[in-house]
Chains A and B, each alone.
Chain A
Amino acid sequence: MNANLMLKVNKISKQFPVYRRTVFKKKIGALNVLNSVSFDIVKGETLGLVGESGCGKTTVCRTIMQLEPLTAGEIFFKGERLSMLTKKELRQVRRHMQIIYQDPFGSLNPRMKVLDIIGEPLMIHKITSSKGEYKDMVADLMMMVGLNPLMSSRYPHEFSSGQRQRISIARAIAVKPDFLICDEPVSALDVSIQAQIINLLEEIKDKFSLTYLFVAHDLAVVHHVSSRIAVMYRGEIVEIADKDNLCRNPKHPYTKALLSAIPVPDPKERYKDEHALLRGENNDLLDVPSGCRFYPRCPFAMSLCYQKRPVLNKGNHHEHLTACHLHQES
């Protein structure tokens, strides 16, 4: 296996059972949240993951962190197969991968002081045992993310959402991880604060030579921070490519539609082309079409798309891959 490989996600699937609650709990179906998702992340790169809400972005993050068991497939982190690890070994591995959540309100314990929120990982991983050193380390971390260390005895509710996201970042980098999952880290923030946090994430990436999986629904933000981008639709990766390739030369109709739907902050672009390419919504997760999942909304759908599900064609790491019959030679 390639020594440069940080994370290898190999054909993971995740099903959530659906029950009908009568007197007896009865399983009536399964929700295919992830369907054979594969990607690699090499050391030092940032892979962006975009898609609409409900497409399975967060589930990908949670399965990588082993917060959610997989239905099928394997995840390798630095060559280690995560599902084979014992609890003790898993704790060791988790020290090297951390996650930042979307909601800066829900992800911080309201009853803990900032000092302990940021310092807790230091205790858990036994990085320090002396009180003084502990306080110094937390103060250093707070400085690093642009917080005043004097605020360490305050509670989360005393901070704004941008500052709270800085606390989450400080906590994530406290154990000096190699790999950081950012699950929509900026989507709850205001524009001016969003730019601050993006810059901060880029700074600490350089400082600690981190590798990111950056999840967001805003393609412009993902394009800014990532080196490669994967586009997800209803539990599948439909396109994955180098960021400039993906944005300048999108192949999958869904990627094209996403790109055209983004409002560009320039009034001169207003009359350029048709903005709303997509019609309809992907509302019913249980009722999955048998062929291509994008078939009901696709403007280029053919009869083949209805019959046969396209798969992401195979290729090596830097190739532009897409799961669409329009772009597959067979």
Chain B
Amino acid sequence: MLLKVLNLCTYYQTGSSYVRAVDDISFELAKGETLGVVGESGCGKTAAALSLMRLIPSPGRIVSGKILFEGKDITALSIKELLSIRGDQIAMIFQDPMTALNPVLSIGEQLVEPFMIHRRLSRKVAIPLCIELLNKVRIPDAGSRMKSYPHELSGGMRQRVMIAMALALNPKIIIADEPTTALDVSIQAELLELLKNITREQNASLMLITHNLGIVARYADRVMIMYAGRIVEKAFTLNLYQTPLHPYTKGLLDSVPRLNQNNNKKLTPIKGQPPDLANLPQGCAFYERCTLKEARCKAKAPTLKKFTCDHEVACWLKEEGK
């Protein structure tokens, strides 16, 4: 297993209380696979991704748990060791390329950086490598684009640069945090197709974070659904969409309008709103919005358990293979 996350907890301290952004999650990422992470805003998707890179901004911190990357615990590494992994072995693509790219440096300046820092190459040697990268992500006229600044590029082009930068050093894991949320559908499709092909070529693993159930259905091998900082369901993509077990997953799938369905019928949304992470109620976090709730759900929060051999769910109603 390339990456193994064990009981990871990332909390943000606000005054005297904690916001449990990531609360006791465990998952694995195998070599070459694409793991989809789905959830609504504020459910801890991004916090989980940032934890893997140890990029959690203060006042947040990893409170407990282990992140084993090729056997090494990332949470226990020294800064020096960490820097040799970050960007080199594990790379990240952020949602908003306008804020992730440095506005006062040209694209070329930013692209040569990983080569110069991690591979100790000279600028002269690095530049042709960068142009090759830009060609790979289908940026037309790559040579002259190297001198452009981020504001001169369109949103799609900027995200291509981000992808190029993440792929620069052939990382083993690519974490894409909502890579196409800010883009139009036609560009989204092209970029995701590109990302899929390149990761496959390099045999890299992809952690694809999104709120779009369609994207996950198309690109992910396995999916995990997050809700209020926890993983509520984890399965192979096909299983998850065919037999969703958690009421939240079912609710999500029923909430999306579909083109192929006869839609004079109404959507069935999930009632209410996601809970406040700073004061989560006791018991299941989905209790208030759940249609199948029972007394025991309020008493104690369910943990993620195996339902079938490769389908895990955190719900009291789906215990013991019922």
Contacts and interface: CB of A to CB of B under 8 A. Distances in A.
Contacts of A266: 217, 241
Contacts of A192: 40, 251-252, 255, 269-270
Contacts of B266: 199, 202
Contact of B267 (A198, A270, A276): A198
Interface string A164-192: 00000000000000000000000000111
A190 B286 CA distance: 16
A269 B268 contact: no
Would you call the interface of chain B mostly helix, strand, loop, or mixed?
Answer: helix
B260 interface: yes
Interface residues of B, number: 44
Interface in A254-273: 257-270
B214 A262 contact: yes
A265 B217 contact: yes
B278 interface: no
Interface string A243-263: 000010000000001111111
B199 interface: no
B186 A52 contact: yes
A310 interface: no
B273 A52 contact: no
Given A193-B273, A276-B190, A265 B41 contact: no
Contacts of B299: none
B186 A258 contact: yes
Nearest to B189: A261
Contact of B186 (A163, A261, A267): A261
Contacts, number: 130
Interface stretch (A22-30, A60-68, A216-224): A216-224
A53 B184 contact: yes
Interface string A263-305: 1111111100001111101010000000000000000000000
A223 B267 CA distance: 13
A283 B259 contact: no
Nearest to A190: B40
A204 to B, nearest CB: 14
A268 B187 CA distance: 22
Nearest to B154: A283
Given A160-B273, A195-B256, A265-B214, 19 more contacts: A53-B184, A191-B211, A192-B252, A195-B255, A196-B270, A199-B266, A217-B184, A217-B185, A257-B186, A258-B185, A261-B186, A261-B189, A262-B185, A263-B188, A263-B212, A267-B241, A278-B187, A283-B154, A283-B157
11 contacts: A52-B186, A53-B184, A191-B252, A193-B273, A195-B268, A196-B269, A199-B269, A223-B257, A265-B241, A265-B253, A267-B237
Interface of B: 40-41, 154, 156-157, 184-190, 192-193, 211-218, 237-238, 241, 251-260, 263, 266-271, 273-274
